[in-house]
Structure 1
Amino acid sequence: MTTLDDDRIDLGAYFSRIGYSGSHEASVDTLAAIQARHMACIPFENLDPLLGRPVRLDLPSLAHKLVHSRRGGYCFEQNLLFSHVIGRLGIEHIGLAARVLWNQPADEDRPRSHMLLLATLDGVAYIADVGFGGHCPSAPLRLDSEAPQQTPHGNYRLRRDGADYTLLINIDNAWRPVYRFDLCPQLPVDYVAANYYLSTSDDSHFRHGLYAALATPGERRALLGHRYTVRKDDGSSARRDLSDADEIAAVLREEFGIAVPDMACLRAVVAHGI
């Protein structure tokens, strides 16, 4: 794997991919605008692990897949690409690693299996994340506040406990933990082992279930196995159960903009059970 400084991405192609034509100034407004557009246009998805395809983290592979090939990816792919983009704009940042708490037993020790970013602008530190799927915050969050912070797609807060921070989301008037992290900087190479485990191990949930998510203006779209759900900002939602691989592929294409890379393999995986 190369580091992100070894290659350069075509920023024009990236901004075209996400439909962004705003400022390139290194500011929190720029960071927030690009984060929102990225999450609205580049879907979270795990088709490569599910279909037994390699997940590559070098920058040319990320650009080819996420920018040029109508695909998305999961946290390492999404946030490594995003890291390079904001770095090119002069936004100071580091990579971090988190332990996923969402839908996990409270007393269970979790590995550091999620990547997020810490960006610093005008002396203020913000959490920026475009790779946590259906509950990813769609705006930067100030690290120095434990008060609720409103984003375009939900209310979040950060709780500090010594050196650790826990990200929480408010759902149905209850605060639920999303992930826990500290501020130890990670290098791109530090994500290789976790990426290999998540994309190849039989114990990885990404190898056995289908996940896709987009946070478009006014709603979140989510695909979990055969169930497609749209949740509106007003609290309403609609669900649809998909019958087979062809219907799943149609939803991936039409609702998430994802071109399925191997339909024969998807049919086999769906027939086996996702």
Structure 2
Amino acid sequence: MSLSAADLQAYLIRIGFEGEARADRETLARIVALHPGVIPFENLNPFLGIPVELTADAFMAKLVHGGRGGYCFEQNGLLAHVLETLGFKFTPLAARVLWMQDEDAETPRTHKLLMVDLPDGPVLADVGFGGAVCTGLLRLESGVPQETPHERFRLLEKDGEWRQQIEIRGEWRTTYRFTLEQALAIDDALGNWWTSTSPASHFTFSLVAARSPAGRRLALRNLDYTTHQPGEDTQRRRLAPDEVCAVLESDFGLRLADRDNLTAKIRTLA
């Protein structure tokens, strides 16, 4: 589904995109770099037991006009509508998250990303992977470190399965694994339902927020708040429950509609 001209313009203004947007590498790279720095990754809806809707109207109302963010199905769902409107050709993919888990962990396919066709070959575009989101475009080349606006990333391929890795202090850490099989809308619906409602999904019982502006990464997990600049030591701070909403508003730019209810839920984390 394509967006209206007004919706596309509202999105570009939201992420701070200036100039004319075209269906080319430069535009795509700028969008992927800007989006995660402005529209935060967050799970307030699942955390508060509120349904997550996967429609273009819902994405626009929440992420663009509502001062909110979302997780991968919303972030990359919105990106898909933007790219379709601009005239890009792409394939939705689904990945199994391995971030902070063993390499052989068996996880569901609950991460959405996009493979975008460009004249010089396909690239991965992903604006919805939280604190370790790749803010650059990744060529489908195995074993080659690739520079991004933040850390270096690389892809590894074996027997048709790909793994994305991020380099942190000289160590390569896997974020997720995936194949190039197209993910259908029903796959997104199933993954979104599990991620936002299952008692086994950490999004239903933990608070998560992340933002990656130029040269920095901000991440909140429950009461633990970290800020990081590449090449420097990570700054860590334990927040009091009553501080969290203020940090979500000031540092992550979130507009909180029900502050009292959210604060009450956050207190249970302590």
Which deviates the most, 168-177 or 103-112? 103-112
Structure-2 residue corresponding to 1:212: 209
From the two aligned structures, give the one with the greater strand fraction: 1
Secondary structure of the 1:124 match is: coil
In the alignment, structure 1 residue 136 sits paired with structure 2 residue 138: no
| Runs of 4+, deviation exceeding 6 Å | none
Cα displacement (A) at 1:124 = 0.5
- Counterpart amino acid of 2:253? G
Which deviates the most, 189-198 or 257-266? 257-266
In the alignment, structure 1 residue 263 sits paired with structure 2 residue 264: no
Kindly indicate whether the alpha-carbon contact (under 8 Å) linking 1:125 and 1:144 is maintained by their aligned counterparts in 2. no
TM-score scaled by length of structure 1: 0.94
Kindly indicate whether the alpha-carbon contact (under 8 Å) linking 2:223 and 2:269 is maintained by their aligned counterparts in 1. no
Structure-2 residue corresponding to 1:202: 199
Structure-2 residue corresponding to 1:231: 228
Kindly indicate whether the alpha-carbon contact (under 8 Å) linking 1:22 and 1:30 is maintained by their aligned counterparts in 2. no
In the alignment, structure 1 residue 91 sits paired with structure 2 residue 114: no
Let me know the Cα RMSD of the aligned residues.
Answer: 1.4
Question: How many percent identity over aligned positions?
Answer: 43
Kindly indicate whether the alpha-carbon contact (under 8 Å) linking 1:119 and 1:125 is maintained by their aligned counterparts in 2. yes
Secondary structure of the 1:150 match is: coil
Secondary structure of the 1:147 match is: coil
Among 137, 141, 144, the residue aligned to 1:147 = 144
Kindly indicate whether the alpha-carbon contact (under 8 Å) linking 2:245 and 2:263 is maintained by their aligned counterparts in 1. no
What is the correspondence of 1:43-54 to structure 2 with a 5 Å cutoff? 43-54=40-51
What is the correspondence of 1:180-191 to structure 2 with a 5 Å cutoff? 180-191=177-188
Q: Deviations over 1:120-160 (max 9, x none)?
A: 11040101000000001001100134210011110110000
Instruction: Give the length in aligned residue pairs.
Output: 269
Structure 2, gaps ≥5 residues long: none
Among 108, 112, 134, the residue aligned to 1:115 = 112
Structure-1 residue corresponding to 2:78: 81
TM-score scaled by length of structure 2: 0.96
Q: Deviations over 1:34-71 (max 9, x none)?
A: 11111111000000000111100011011000000100
